[in-house]
Amino acid sequence: MKVIFGVLLLAAAAATASAQSNASRPQWDLRLNETRGPIRRADVSPLATGAVSEILGGPTSGSDNAYLLYTRMAPGARGPALFTLPVDHYYVVLSGRMTVQIGTDMFVAEPMTGVVIPANMPHAVSNAGTQPEAHLEVIAPAPSRDLMTMITAAQPRKVENAAQYIRRIVVPAAKDLKPGLNGQAFTNRAMGSPNTVRLDSTMPGSGGPATHVHRFEQVYFIVEGATTISYGADKLKASKNDIVILMPGVVHTNANESGLPERHLTMLLPQNDDGAPADIEFEMKPR
């Protein structure tokens, strides 16, 4: 009887500790996109109040290396209270204006502004404006299948030169586009991050290189226009607000077959660091 009673006490103590931990953890309205396959469309319907993050891909839904989130914030809304993650956290503002707190400093990020938050840095985001705001988030790597267990409540502390983590992404005008991807990186290994996030723009009739494979995961998020994805033996069309998850070893390329410019965010998760070419050409021969 004493043994059983002792076990019950330990179980109760563990449950109490778990409840206290959950109570102190910042709250985050997370919803899972249930689509399967390489292409998923973000929910862009307007919110009357609050903030919602949609998991477009993660360790339980197609992305082994990152959490890929599409977040919408109504005017006056905010995301989780100041918190840290044990891994890097990237934001790209797509519409509206996002207020981001880094340590004790506050910044306003407008569309096509990227924010790089290194591991264990206190941060939080909100929408202090009068218009809806939307942004893409990448949390990489993804060491847990439960994102909420990765976040820890934080107190404000001074972060030296916090402004360096706010980076404007150059968007080339349509008239300046050249054949190919016209890439504009806002973070990569050369800038201190293991992962690459960049904006690629394509002119009509152009696109990526010949069919190829990577040894890492690659992700596209379409921000303007549409592109045709060669994915293995299939051809798929991805349009604005679609995310495309390309697993390592999948033969692929992309082409702008429309009559308008196309732009997408490209993520290399993580960028290879062995000095080998990122693209390994792979010829697709018809039967």
The 10s digit of each residue's pLDDT in 206-244 is: 999 999 999 999 999 999 999 999 999 999 999 999 999
Residues 132 and 250 placed together within one structural domain of the fold: no
- Whole-number pLDDT of residue 277: 84
Chain mean pLDDT for the chain: 92
CATH of the domain at 85: 2.60.120.10
Confidence of residue 6 (pLDDT cuts 50, 70, 90): low
Residue 10 lies in a domain: no
Residue 20 lies in a domain: no
Residues 275 and 191 placed together within one structural domain of the fold: yes
User: Quick one: residue 33, left, alpha or beta (phi over 0 = left, psi -120 to 50 = alpha)?
Assistant: beta
Beta bridge partners of 139: 67, 89
Residues 97 and 210 placed together within one structural domain of the fold: no
Task: Name the domain count of the chain.
Answer: 2
- Whole-number pLDDT of residue 17: 47
Which positions ≥6 away from 225 have C-beta within 8 Å? 239, 240, 256, 258, 260, 261, 262, 263
Distance CA 58, CA 166 (A): 25
Residues 49 and 133 placed together within one structural domain of the fold: yes
Residue 256 lies in a domain: yes
- Whole-number pLDDT of residue 283: 78
- Whole-number pLDDT of residue 83: 98
Does residue 37 surpass a pLDDT of 60? Answer: yes
Structural domain including 223 reads: 174-281
- Whole-number pLDDT of residue 275: 83
- Whole-number pLDDT of residue 4: 55
> Which position has the higher pLDDT, 45 or 282?
45
Residue 208 lies in a domain: yes
The predicted model scores a pTM of 0.91
> Which position has the higher pLDDT, 1 or 34?
34
| Residues of the chain above pLDDT 90, percent | 85
Residue 253 lies in a domain: yes
Among the listed ranges 8-12, 160-164, 247-251, which one has the minimum average pLDDT value? 8-12
Q: What is the number of alpha carbons within 13 Å of residue 57 lying toward its C-beta?
A: 31
Residue 1 lies in a domain: no
Among 249, 248, 254, 244, residue whose Cα is nearest residue 68: 244
- Whole-number pLDDT of residue 12: 54
Residues 42 and 160 placed together within one structural domain of the fold: yes
Residues 155 and 192 placed together within one structural domain of the fold: no
Number of neighbouring beta carbons within 10 Å of residue 259: 8
Residues 184 and 69 placed together within one structural domain of the fold: no
The 10s digit of each residue's pLDDT in 83-142 is: 999 999 999 999 999 999 999 999 999 999 999 999 999 999 999 999 999 999 999 999
The 10s digit of each residue's pLDDT in 256-277 is: 999 999 999 999 999 988 888 8
Does residue 31 surpass a pLDDT of 50? Answer: yes
The 10s digit of each residue's pLDDT in 177-200 is: 999 999 999 999 999 999 999 999
> Could you say which of 144, 168, 192 is where a domain stops?
168
- Whole-number pLDDT of residue 33: 98
Phi/psi at 8 (nearest 5 deg)?
-65, -40
Distance CA 30, CA 174 (A): 36
> Could you say which of 119, 151, 168 is where a domain stops?
168
Residues 80 and 44 placed together within one structural domain of the fold: yes
Confidence of residue 282 (pLDDT cuts 50, 70, 90): confident
